[in-house]
Structure 1
């Protein structure tokens, strides 16, 4: 019984860590967006950089909210908290792409 409980806790911790790592990788993907290659003029480059910074802020808010909700639900022991923590980064990445 004790081993099963330990294994469940380890699974929750692993899902939270993996979700955080995946969100970090997607954050870096947005951060490394190449505005210099995509723009012709300095004004277009500046506009691209401004849009990229708003994308980063929106991604941090959405992914952070989802991950923290997953953490709170994992502390309560709910089974779908793992999915929420794992999917917070990809869902935020897609939402930022759709909203902006």
Structure 2
């Protein structure tokens, strides 16, 4: 079960970095079909199959969010650097260099 969640997160991270959020609907649909189409489903209970579907879809969505955050991280860090640099320059009016 953990492999499903981690695999979903990894695939969701790739989707989050490359595509818009509309890609999640068909991807989740394909994931559900793949879980239901595997031959081991006959041995599993309905509750276990539903749990696998929930884990996979949740992993995809969390991974997508992580992919979005990681793709925008450089812009956020640049904003913090600019804000920190402007506040550091305006804090002191004298030079700290000693001759």
- The verdict on a shared fold, with TM-score over 0.5 as the criterion, is no
TM-score (norm: length of structure 2): 0.40
Q: Specify the structure having the higher radius of gyration (Cα).
A: 2
* Bigger proportion of residues as helix: 1
What TM-score, normalized by structure 1, do the two folds share?
Answer: 0.39
